Amino acid sequence: MTTPQHYEPPTPDRIVADYVATMVNAPAVAGVALDPEWKRGGPPALVVFDDGGTYTWPILLTTRLRVTVWGSDRSTARGMASWALGLLMAQTIPGIAKLDQPTTIIDAVDSKNNGNMASFTIRARARIVPVTHAPYVP
Amino acid sequence: MANSPRPKVSINRKTVAKLLMGKGIYDAVNQITDTIAAKIPGEAHTSRYSTDRRAGSVTVPTEDQARDGALTRACAAAGLEFKPS
C-alpha cells in the first residue's frame, strides 16, 4: 500500500514578517514576536501575528493577520503601520496567494511597556502544500 | 417550456420585516455576540440594538485588540469570519 499524500499548512505570519523585514532599515525591526526588552524610546518594532481562520483542506488556508507597530510616539507607530499596510496591499509576496480586506489602523497605549501601538488586520490566503511523508525531527 | 407562463414571485416585505425583528433573529444574534464575548479573556462589552432588524455588537479596549488581538482571535475561535465592513 502506498503512503497517502501529506499536506502542511503554511505560516503566513512568518512569511509576511520575513518579507517586511527585508524592506525595513535598521534600527527598526520586524518579526513575529515583540522583543520582551522593547522599551519606549527605542526604535519602532513591527510584529505580525496570526489571529486565526479556517482551512479548506487540503487547498487553502484563510486567516487574519494582525500587524502591530510599537513606537515611542503616536506618529511613529502610525507612520510605520501605514507604510506596512501600503506595502502589503501593493506587493505579491512569494508563499502568500493574496492579502486583502484590510481594517483601518487603530492606536492605543500598551500599559505593559508604555509604548504607542498602531495596529491593523488583513486577510491572508495561502496554499496548503504537499510534503514528503517523514518522521518528525525535533 | 418556452410557452409556459413565467412564474411570478413577490416578496412579502412586511412579513420579512416582522421576521427580522422577531424573537428568532433576536435570539440568534444574542447567541453569537455572547459566544464571541465569552471567548475574550479580558474586558468585553456587548450591546443589543435594532436597526430595521435585530443586531448586536461586541466591544473590546483598543489596547487589547492591538496587543493581543482580543476581538479577532475571539471571532476566529467562535468560527466566524472577521470582515471589515
Q: Report the run of H or E that residue A30 belongs to, with start and end.
A: strand A29-31
Compute the distance between CA of residue A137 and CA of residue A125 in angstroms, rounded to an integer.
28
Nearest to B65 among A53, A63, A119 (CB): A119
% helix / strand / coil in chain B, to the nearest 5? 45, 15, 40
Kindly state the percentage of chain B with pLDDT values over 90.
87
Looking up cell 486577510, which residue turns up?
A123
CA distance A24 to chain B (A): 21
Cβ neighbours, 10 Å, residue B23: 9
- Can you give the pLDDT at residue A58? 92
| Per-residue pLDDT reduced to its tens digit, A31-74 | 999 999 999 999 999 999 999 999 999 999 999 999 999 999 99
Looking at beta carbons, which residues of chain A come within 8 Å of B67?
68, 108, 110, 112, 117, 119
For A40, which DSSP code?
B
| B47 close contact with A: CB closer than 8 A | no
Compute the distance between CA of residue A46 and CA of residue A26 in angstroms, rounded to an integer.
12
- Can you give the pLDDT at residue B77? 94
| A49 close contact with B: CB closer than 8 A | yes
- Can you give the pLDDT at residue A44? 97
All 3 cell numbers of residue B3? Answer: 410557452
| B77 close contact with A: CB closer than 8 A | yes
Query: What's the pTM?
Result: 0.88
